[in-house]
Amino acid sequence: QVQLVESGGGLVQPGGSLRLSCAASGRIFNINAMGWYRQAPGKQRELVATITSGGSTNYADSVKGRFTISRDNAQNTVYLQMNSLKPEETAVYYCDAFIGPLGYWGQGTQVTVSS
């Protein structure tokens, strides 16, 4: 069994910052790519950012320059630093990880950007 547990969500004012964390545990031998996605009410889940085991990153155009994805391979953890948050970025944020050929999702953490 593999579990991904996100944390760090919450309520933040527009222009504020949050740092999300996602820790993987269980039968982990080698984590390949990890990533963050988000799903706003009534919308499809969308890619936010991904990072490979070697540290190569990819971002959605809408978050480039404001969000930073990073990972700690020793701790099997991926992070998402989010700056200059906008109200339209209110969503449930999910992390995912590819371990061998299989993909896993976390349960999500709510991020609300509102004054």
CA atoms of 73 and 94, how far apart (whole Å): 19
pLDDT average, residue stretch 15-25: 97
Query: Torsion over CA of 84, 45, 10 and 58, rounded to 10 degrees?
Result: -40
pLDDT average, residue stretch 102-107: 94
pLDDT band at 1 (very low <50, low <70, confident <90, very high): confident
Checking if the pLDDT of 27 tops 90, the result is: no
The pLDDT tens digits for 34-61 are 999 999 999 999 999 999 999 999 999 9
The pLDDT tens digits for 72-101 are 999 999 999 999 999 999 999 999 999 888
